[in-house]
């Protein structure tokens, strides 16, 4: 059966990759819901429309989820079988400067899409796209699993945790078929140039110096499990096709979507420099002093998804080189 899938934040970085992947790998109709502000860039969807032969199955609806979805917007969206809620404000620095905006986008916005979702009697699945940051910093050797306690360290992570708890409440109160995913640092083509990987690509290309955030001794760089957005999209489709919606389970299903390899930010910058055959110029900076509200290390366990049969298919180094090559050929995506 051909499904109708609503993707919130469809012009955002991760969501547009999900849309493109679903168009390539299913026969589903996709409805993109977006407000087209800072993170929602219509050029991303324009690339899909131009390059993907299946883009006739994509429709685009404008709406800002800070407000309730009106009847006229509901009519534009039409019937929905699956909702993928990826719309969010996601920049830590901006959340520290303007926390209320993140509460409105990530908590109130989530409540509004949940209210919309509970009007559908036959909704198959609702995926809430959360983040590793709800768990807070991870000491060396610690990898948080899906049901570990939260320890938000900035307004962004707190607002994502708040939205996540709302989805749990709607699942328990209204029996919505909700699934929660947590993912770590996602990268890929068409990412906003403020993010670490495109920023490194640009600075290395231009011969500039990169700041590597580290511990107080300025010797241990921060580390992450980076994952390409296409691998995230592949994991989401795996969850949609292979895993239950959780209505009959004791607790809400949660899945960590994690890259295979942990890498520190100095190693990552060096891979990007090597891919350009350029010298890496860098300085180490104490992250606590320079970036309050940020954490040196995040880490999630990807064991549950691996046990169920999913993990990224392509190695991290190859993915990074793909993104470097693509971005150097599309320098318009490095303009702030």
Active site residues: 156
Reported as type and span, the H/E element at residue 187 is strand 186-187
Bridge partners (DSSP) listed for residue 228: 187
- Asked if 190 and 263 count as a contact pair (C-beta separation under 8 A), the reply is no
In degrees and rounded to multiples of 5, residue 263 shows phi and psi of -140, 140
- Asked if 165 and 110 count as a contact pair (C-beta separation under 8 A), the reply is no
Q: Which two tokens stand for residue 177?
A: 């078929």
Bridge partners (DSSP) listed for residue 98: none
- Asked if 128 and 110 count as a contact pair (C-beta separation under 8 A), the reply is yes
Cβ-proximal residues to 139 (8 Å cutoff; 6+ apart), any chain: 297
* CA-to-CA separations, 36 to 88, 281, 297, in angstroms, rounded: 12, 35, 31
* Mode of pairing for the β-strands spanning 125-131 and 178-183: parallel
* Mode of pairing for the β-strands spanning 125-131 and 29-34: unpaired
Rounded CA gap, 216 and 285, in Å? 8
Reported as type and span, the H/E element at residue 61 is strand 58-62
- Asked if 223 and 297 count as a contact pair (C-beta separation under 8 A), the reply is yes
- Asked if 126 and 168 count as a contact pair (C-beta separation under 8 A), the reply is no
* Mode of pairing for the β-strands spanning 223-224 and 263-264: antiparallel
């Amino acid at each position: 059966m051909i499904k109708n899938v609503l993707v919130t934040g469809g012009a955002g970085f991760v969501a547009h990759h999900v849309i493109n992947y679903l168009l390539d790998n299913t026969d589903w109709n996709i409805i993109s819901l977006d407000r087209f502000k800072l993170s929602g860039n219509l050029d991303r969807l324009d690339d899909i429309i131009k390059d993907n032969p299946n883009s006739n199955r994509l429709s685009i609806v404008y709406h800002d989820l800070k407000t309730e979805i009106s009847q006229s917007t509901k009519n534009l969206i039409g019937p929905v079988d699956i909702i993928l809620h990826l719309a969010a404000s996601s920049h830590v620095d901006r959340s520290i400067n303007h926390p209320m905006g993140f509460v409105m986008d990530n908590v109130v916005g989530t409540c509004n899409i949940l209210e919309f979702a509970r009007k559908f009697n036959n909704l198959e699945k609702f995926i809430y796209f959360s983040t590793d940051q709800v768990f807070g910093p991870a000491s060396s050797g610690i990898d948080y699993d899906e049901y570990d306690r939260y320890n938000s360290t900035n307004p962004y992570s707190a607002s994502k945790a708040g939205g996540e708890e709302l989805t749990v409440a709607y699942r328990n109160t209204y029996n919505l078929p909700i699934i929660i995913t947590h993912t770590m640092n996602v990268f890929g083509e068409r990412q906003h140039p403020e993010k670490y990987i495109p920023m490194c690509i640009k600075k290395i290309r231009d011969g500039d110096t990169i700041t590597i955030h580290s511990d107080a001794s300025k010797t241990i760089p921060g580390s992450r499990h980076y994952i390409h957005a296409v691998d995230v999209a592949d994991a989401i489709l795996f969850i949609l096709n292979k895993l239950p919606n959780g209505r009959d389970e004791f607790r809400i299903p949660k899945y960590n979507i994690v890259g295979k390899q942990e890498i520190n930010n100095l190693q990552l910058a060096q891979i990007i420099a090597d891919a350009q055959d350029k010298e890496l110029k860098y300085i180490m900076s104490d992250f606590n002093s320079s970036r309050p509200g940020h954490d040196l290390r995040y880490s999630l366990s990807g064991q549950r998804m691996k046990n169920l049969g999913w993990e990224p298919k392509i190695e991290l180094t190859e993915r990074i080189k793909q993104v470097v090559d693509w971005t150097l050929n599309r320098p318009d995506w490095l303009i702030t």
